[in-house]
Amino acid sequence: MPIYEYKCKACDKEFERLGSMKDQDSDIECPFCGSVGAEKLMSRCRSKVEMSMSDFQAMSEAASGGGGGCAGCSSNSCSTCG
């Protein structure tokens, strides 16, 4: 289940709530003052992926459909790669 972030319109405090996708638009009660109708905030997300340059190049080559300069060969030195 995702964690949603909210800001209370009455007391201006921010809080989080664990909920399902169907609950995200329902009236949310502030745990600090008890008022209903908190504003949903845009959550920030950060991800860090570590890989070597050779891993990155291999992934890029696989995505482009070839192992080198063109899809017809596996090197950058054939006559069609130019």
Residue-level pLDDT at 11: 96
Residue-level pLDDT at 30: 93
Pairing of strands 14-18, 3-7: antiparallel
Residue-level pLDDT at 66: 55
Output the tens digit of pLDDT for each of the chain's 82 residues: 788 899 999 999 999 988 776 765 668 899 999 999 899 898 777 677 787 888 878 877 777 665 555 555 666 666 656 5
Place of tokens 């992934």: 59
Give CA–CA dist 82/59, Å, rounded: 23
Phi and psi at residue 45, in whole multiples of 5°?
-135, 140
Domain ranges of the chain: 3-40
Give CA–CA dist 61/76, Å, rounded: 12
